Amino acid sequence: MEFSSKLLENAVNEVSQLPGIGKRTALRLVLHLLKQPESQTLHLVNSLQELRTEIKHCNNCHNISDVEICDICANPNRQQDIVCVVEDIRDVMAIESTAQYKGLYHVLGGKISPLDGIGPHNLTIASLVEKVKEGKIKEIIFALSSTMEGDTTNFYIYKQIENYEVKTSTIARGISVGDELEYADEVTLGRSIVNRVPFENSLKSS
């Protein structure tokens, strides 16, 4: 792509570094900004800059937060001794939107993935193990995605804490509510039969 302006070229190059955005999309976005009032670009720019320089992570659960201890950890109505281990803030938001969980979270910041150069020390595993050692936690719920990396991470954490008195569980894998059995993959369907629940339980949670 040949640009008539160095400023335009720079902006397109920077925007196209974002995931899933190529040069053409970047050009479209940048030209859109040029057509809008200058204030829109300035608001965008300020919000990104503030986010990047001022964002904090909760000291307890490592979730993104504006303060030292996030709203969830600071909420006295939540059960402080149940911790749900998730990959990032999107998983926290997803679980929160179900309104079914009243414990705390622990945000790992990723999964163990040697191919991407992410080892246990890149994640917040040490502080989770520390909390377990201090006896603060009664139950840990693993809620990582069930991929190779997710399972590895679950197992790594499990090995670190298996000698302490803490209950561990993983979220249930099974057929999605509303899905047809015939289209489900074998592994999911198999697990949903092995881990079947008493019929009375399914009446309660709906």
From the CB of 98, what's the least distance to its own copies, in Å?
Answer: 11
From the CB of 30, what's the least distance to its own copies, in Å?
Answer: 7
Residue 63, classified by CB atoms within 10 Å of its CB into exposed (0-12), middle (13-18) or buried (19+), is: buried
Nearer to its own copies, 52 or 204 (CB): 52
Nearest to 98 by CA among 84, 113, 110: 84
Which spans in 55-162 are helix H? 71-74, 89-96, 125-133, 148-161
Nearer to its own copies, 34 or 193 (CB): 34
Which positions touch its own copies (CB under 8 A)?
1-8, 10-11, 13-15, 17-21, 25, 27-34, 38, 40-45, 47-55, 63-66, 70-72, 88-90, 92-93, 96-97
Nearest to 75 by CA among 91, 87, 60, 64: 60
The whole-angstrom separation of Cα 139 and Cα 145 is 19
Q: Which residues of 99-124 are buried (b: 16+ CB within 10 A; e: fewer)?
A: eebebbbbbbbbbbbeeeebebeebb
Nearer to its own copies, 21 or 184 (CB): 21
Within the chain, how many helices (H) and strands (E) appear? 9, 6
From the CB of 142, what's the least distance to its own copies, in Å?
Answer: 21
Nearer to its own copies, 116 or 169 (CB): 116
Nearer to its own copies, 95 or 128 (CB): 95
From the CB of 6, what's the least distance to its own copies, in Å?
Answer: 6
